[in-house]
Amino acid sequence: MNLRPTEIVLILVVILLLFGAKKLPDMARSLGKSARILKSEAKAMKREDEAAGAGAPPAQPSGSQEAPRTIQAAPGDVTSSRPVNEPNRTTQS
């Protein structure tokens, strides 16, 4: 499917009319944050799979409670950070 420049401009104008100029930057920012979160979660899952494949459980001091991890969407963006509850051997039933 080859789009000519006039068709691309027409599509962009329709998108601008539908969503409005004020909402587009917020939508792009939100999409970028979502992509960063997805990428960091995928990397974390890959590291966990590699650690499980190697047969070495993550090192954890016995008897001490680990603080929950915090995932940040962007450096310095505290409004989108959230704690992550990870199951460990003491909380599993």
Tokens of 26: 């917020």
- The pLDDT value recorded for residue 79 is 57
Task: Concatenate the DSSP letters of all residues of the chain into one string.
Answer: -PPPHHHHHHHHHHHHHHH-TTHHHHHHHHHHHHHHHHHHHHHHHHHHHHHHHTT-PPP--TTPPPPPEEE-SSTT-TTS-EEE----TTT--
Cα separation values, 86 from 50, 80, 83, Å: 18, 19, 9
pLDDT at 35 over 90: yes
Tell if the pTM clears 0.75, that is, is over it. no
- How many residues can be counted in the chain? 93
Q: What share of the chain in percent tops pLDDT 70?
A: 57
